[in-house]
Amino acid sequence: MTTVLRRHFPKLSPCPKCRCQGWVKGGSSTGGDLQYRTCRGCGHGFKVSPIGVEVEDGRGGSVMVDWRTFSERA
C-alpha cells in the first residue's frame, strides 16, 4: 500500500511557502485522491493530489499546479 501511495504522490519537498524540506502528511481532507498536508517548518497547510499540489498564486489565492511544474519551480 505504501508503495502505491509513493507512486501517486511524489516526494513532497520543498514546502511551497517556506521552501524547507519538512513536509508531513495530514489527514485526508475530502477523502479520495485529495489529501491535506502540513509543513513541519512553518505550519503552512496545503492540498495535494496525484496530479498536483496547491500553491499560493501571489494574489492572496491559491492554484493547483501539476507535479512537473512544481518541481521545476522549486
Per-residue model confidence (pLDDT) at position 13 = 64
Per-residue model confidence (pLDDT) at position 28 = 59
* Residue range 18-31, pLDDT digits in tens: 878 777 766 655 55
Domain containing 52 equals 2-73
pLDDT band at 4 (very low <50, low <70, confident <90, very high): very low
Q: Where are the alpha helices (DSSP H) in 1-54?
A: 2-8
- Percent above pLDDT 90 for the chain: 0
Output the CA angle 24-29-33, nearest 5 degrees.
Answer: 90
Domain count, the chain: 1
Beta-strand (E) ranges in the chain? 23-25, 35-39, 45-49, 52-56, 62-66
